[in-house]
Structure 1
């Protein structure tokens, strides 16, 4: 090296830190954009506004409006509703109640297994019928007819078949979830871009490879949308089954609270049930974001996204 060449920069141990500053700042800017502060502030304002309306009992005072002889916002008597303080009293009173957690665990198990069994069966049947068109022509009308049967009407029959324990609620949730997943899956397979299949075939892909690399990725957005909806309906089916006949469960506890005009308990239990459904939905949203991370323009898990 000649004397006129500039000397290399001394290693002061700060080079790595200086290099990472722009990346760190960019990451924070990206996180702030993802957070979308205006949207979060509006959400917070809506929650605070609803809370004050609820606390002030204004939501239950009624509005003198009649639509075709029906009053959509009637005045509700004091005995038929609860305010946030009464709901909070229930949470504080039953937080240490072992029976409450047993009922919660029973309802969670029923909803989970109904969702797992129904969505698995619906996904497999939907893929099979969507991929093999002849099978769809044979069995499609029978599934359409079965889907037309009111599922709630099956609840008393399922209780007679499976008893009043967890089995009848799991069966009811399985039936409802099955059709919520099967129908969109079958339709999604038929809507996969045929040009992609032709391209994969010309590139020498086998039938199994086309199924794995074209069909499965192509139907995932529709499948996850159906799964998010199925998670909510699984909870609804379980609660309805517990209303009819059950040994344990939050639905049975909710029905008892309403019959006793204990509205604080009833409102609190409805909040707990909603949180369970949102938790299931959130788990599906996390899996969706990981599976569909190649879709940069898609926001997964919209129900519980922050």
Structure 2
């Protein structure tokens, strides 16, 4: 190989490497899309098969429809009671969103504040552990006593659950930030706000969203639990009502609605995480 040829090859190497990397990324993206589509198809198929087996078992008398109902009866019940179910879905969803939002913001803010003062963190850790260990359902009567049979009592119970989930998860993420990064920020005389924006927040985003994913599920559980104890509306109140009247189709209809709400809210949190991480990478 002559020196001129070697020079040309050397000059073209970066461009060829870039094309190779881009091609590899595109193949990986196509493969990921293919597997994602297959996963969704299998998930839908498994649901259809499960519902079909359930319907067959109910129609053949293999299961007692008084206790287990059947998909066709559940669908008929949901359509017949659509207006009432819709109104109660909105009531539960509204309390869940408020509780989740307030608990999440408060949890993140308190986590940043506590971890910024090591002594305060060490003092409060035992109390946080004690408060987390209290079953939240046991607090529902207290919230009802304090706030009455109102939406506030439902929101309060959801906040008490989400707050600690997000607090503990965010605090763990903050404590795992590399000390070298913090030392580097101080060496460059970065202000507390600059250290927060460029070091702390990006480093603990995954931990924050881990808490949010748990929080969105537990927020729904908290609201429904409060509604089951005492409420004038909401899906939890309907579960109790239908259960007391042996309307298993109604109970399963409400459970299906709760599953849909949980799935949608969890997907929104996951999408927000992907969007934020992609934005940070730009």
The TM-score normalised by the length of structure 1 is: 0.77
Q: CA deviation at 1:47?
A: 1.9
- Give the distance between the partners of 1:246 and 1:116, measured in 2 at CA: 21
1:86-165 map, 5 Å: 86-95=73-82, 97=83, 99-165=84-150
Counterparts in 2 of 1:189-204, with a 5 A limit? 189-204=174-189
2 CA distance for matches of 1:262 and 1:118? Answer: 34
2:54 and 2:70 in contact (8 A); partners too = yes
> Conserved in 1, the CA contact under 8 Å of 2:67 and 2:248?
yes
Displacement after TM superposition at 1:29 (Å): 8.7
Partner of 1:52: 52
Instruction: Note closer, same or farther for the CA distance 1:42–1:102 as it changes in structure 2 (3 Å cut).
Output: closer
Residues in 1 aligned to 2:201 and 2:153: alpha-carbon distance in whole angstroms: 33
Match of 1:188 in 2: 173
Distance change >3 Å, CA 28–CA 84, structure 1 → 2: farther
Q: State the shift of 1:203 in Å.
A: 3.5
What pairs with 1:1-306 in structure 2 (closer than 5 Å)?
Answer: 30=29, 33-36=32-35, 37-57=37-57, 77-95=64-82, 97=83, 99-293=84-278
Following the alignment from structure 1 to structure 2, what is the Cα–Cα distance between the partners of residues 33 and 191?
30
DSSP-derived class of the 2:246 partner: coil
CA displacement, residues 187-220 of structure 1 (integer Å, 9 cap, x when unaligned): 1111111122223333442332112111101110
3-state DSSP class of the match of 2:169? helix
Q: Verify the 8 A CA contact 1:131 1:189 in the aligned structure 2.
A: no
From the superposition, tell whether residues 76 and 180 of structure 1 become closer, same or farther in structure 2 (CA, over 3 Å): farther
Higher mean C-alpha displacement, 232-241 vs 272-281: 272-281
1:1-34: CA deviation from partner (whole Å, max 9, x where unpaired)? xxxxxxxxxxxxxxxxxxxxxx9xx979945632
- The residue number in structure 2 matching 1:67 is none
Separation (CA, whole Å) in 1 of partners of 2:222 and 2:34: 34
Higher RCO (Cα < 8 Å, 6 or more apart): 2
TM-score by length of 2: 0.83
Q: CA deviation at 1:176?
A: 0.8
What is the CA distance between 1:241 and its match in structure 2?
A: 0.6
In terms of fraction of residues, the more helix-rich structure is 2
Output the CA distance in 2 between the equivalents of 1:258 and 1:236: 18
Judge which range, 214-223 or 43-52, deviates more: 43-52
Segment drifting more, 227-236 vs 149-158: 149-158
Deviation at 1:124, TM superposition (A): 0.8
Residue 39 to residue 102, structure 1, CA distance change in 2 (3 Å): closer
Q: Which runs of 5+ in 2 are unaligned?
A: 1-21
**Distance in 2 separating the partners of 1:44 and 1:171:** 36
